[in-house]
Amino acid sequence: MGSEGKNFKKEIVFYADLLDRKGLVNTLEGNISILDREKDELYITPSGIRKCFLNEDMIAVMKGDKQTGGSAKRSSEYLLHVAALKARPDCNAVVHVHAPYLTAYAYCGKSIKLKCSTTFSLVFEEIPCLPYGEAGTIHIADGIEDAIKDHDLILLGNHGCVAVGKTMEDAVKIVEAAEEVLKIYHLTKSIGEVKNIPDEKLESLYENHPSSRRNRYKK
């Protein structure tokens, strides 16, 4: 394995541990991956190992449907990662987690569209929720191509969420941001009525802010 592959493994170990410490993954749920598009090799966390216990040797390397490296068995949900990366050729990293607040919406089968948060409005505008798809099969990714083509974070009905990014840092930070906004939103509801940003102000934000989702995806 060349130094580049080792760097991918090191990166996955670092971010898997970070997600574990933040409570966004657990022993049985959550997996992350990086695709080396030049070699068509997918580096992905293994199945059933606590993320903070991972080391570089355990990271699975996939070539198509065949595992070609790693001392531990690849995640059973690698097909989800493959589908997400196929739908987003501009991205190289996938984070699939069961973050509590995001997953609560997935359990309800509800897309998320908040109007009270500038951060949410700029970064996401909306987080769509796919219908339930059977875990461990290609059907977990049913509908992902349309949903993820202009959303970096989506929900999987009755399951969890998937984020994509050019880098692993890009994918992880949007999961962290979304989860934190939702946490604050539900704390706010326990205090009183949530005050939304007026629709005309939001529309101006969507259309005019250079970092808005609409402008990031504008062709």
Active site residues: 77
**In the 8-state DSSP scheme, what is residue 166?**
S
Tell the residue number behind the tokens 């971010």, with chain if given: 15
Q: Which amino acid is at 190?
A: S
Q: CA nearest 205: which of 113, 115, 121?
A: 121
Residue 208 phi, psi (nearest 5): -110, -25
Contact yes or no for 54/46 (Cβ under 8 A): yes
Q: Give, as one character, the DSSP assignment of residue 111.
A: -
Q: How many residues does the chain have?
A: 219
Alpha carbon of 104 to those of 43, 109, 116, 145, 193: distances in Å?
28, 9, 19, 23, 20
